Amino acid sequence: MALPTFIIAGAPKSGTTALWAYLKEHPDICMARRKEPGFFSDDLGELDKPIHKMGSGGLQPGRLKKGMTWYKELFNSCHEKQELGEASVRYFSCPNSTSLIKSTLPHIKLIFLLRHPVERLYSQYWNEIRKGLKLPDFITMVKNNHPRFQYYHKVSSYKCNLERYYKNFPDNQILILINTDLKTKPLETIQQVFEFIGVDKTFIPENLGKSFNKQAKPTFPIVQRILMKYSARISAYVPEQIHPYLRPIRKFIWEFNLKERKQLPPSIPSSIRQQLAHDFEEDIVYVEKLLGRDLSTWRT
């Protein structure tokens, strides 16, 4: 059983689902049978903590303890001549993911999608509301420096998170993308990714430009929270061959309980937005130097 040759490692809420979906279509690429396997992390999940204490990392635990056999089985359907990949956004900010990946896959190619740091942070907040978390309103979160807000802030701290990877991997194994490029010039961007991975760059995915992860909120938030908290635990006691039948059931309940928002979330007050943009100035400058491009729109 082979191991992946590339990983989409974040950042969260920056377009990784769309990129994952595009890559799945390429005949010379085989993606792991599940998005977000989160194998290279042994961090504990946050769902067992009270909301006011949640803030160190991902909601669900990393899956390192499942072992390498479990990880390799995610690629069972792949062919020998395909490039293998997976996508786990928790690797972006999980401190030990870098060393775990390095020790197992020293020659791996790493893809990072970045987004306006304030918009990314705000989107992650609303995504967790969508998952059923009863969090304070965003302005209160910021003013009180809520532990969960601190986590969102840490994820958007691009300099800190990317430096870990650049210290452990050569530059030619890392590709940084900006999510607006994936939206406004998807063909050019996906061809850049295909070239980086080493597959035919003339292939055009059928769903290129399609929207993913549309804005929605749960009718009953507790249902989403229960699904997140207990589905993994239940799966641990169910034979592996039954899992393919359980996942569609979980997906159906999850999506049935969501209703699409007719309106976008409220805008961040300009004073709060400017304050947060100022917080990320060092990160913006760092990414500008990495890419050699102007990202002044991230300052507004």
Q: Chain centroid to CA 232: how far?
A: 18
| Cα-only R_g, the chain | 19
CB atoms within 10 A of CB 160: 15
Range 8-31 average pLDDT = 96
Q: What was the pLDDT predicted at 245?
A: 65
Angle subtended at Cα 132 by Cα 126 and Cα 135, rounded to the nearest 5 degrees: 60
Q: What tokens appear for 247 in the block?
A: 């996942």
pTM: 0.86
- SS3 assignment, position 6: strand
Q: What tokens appear for 118 in the block?
A: 């304030």
- Is the per-residue pLDDT at 261 higher than 60? no
Q: What was the pLDDT predicted at 228?
A: 56
- Report d(CA 287, CA 109) in Å as an integer: 19
Q: With cut-offs at 50, 70 and 90, classify the pLDDT of residue 249.
A: confident
- Per CATH, the homologous superfamily of domain 6-215+261-295 is P-loop containing nucleotide triphosphate hydrolases (3.40.50.300)
End-to-end Cα, the chain, rounded Å: 48
pLDDT tens column, 39-91: 999 998 998 888 888 988 999 899 999 999 999 999 999 998 999 999 999 99
